[in-house]
Amino acid sequence: MKIFIYILMALAAGLIIFNATKLDFDNLFAGESGVASISILAGLCAILLLGILLVSKMIAAQVKK
């Protein structure tokens, strides 16, 4: 499960990097750049949630011992 979470985090980071190349800083929320901005935020949220999941799994393992 831990490896799967790390793979998902890497995919989310790849999504962020890909969408960062699509940004147009003159019109940040217009057209394709708006979609890229929302996708970057979604990738950041995914990484945050997966990080919380990893920490909760570590805590659960410590409590079980």
Q: pLDDT tens digit string along 1-21?
A: 899 999 999 999 999 999 999
pTM: 0.86
Say what percent of the chain tops pLDDT 90: 80
Instruction: Work out the pLDDT band at 24, boundaries 50, 70, 90.
Output: confident
| Structural domains counted in the chain | 1
CA distance 51 to 65: 22
3-class secondary structure, 23? coil
pLDDT score at 32: 87
pLDDT score at 14: 97
Q: What is the domain extent for residue 34?
A: 2-64
pLDDT score at 31: 83
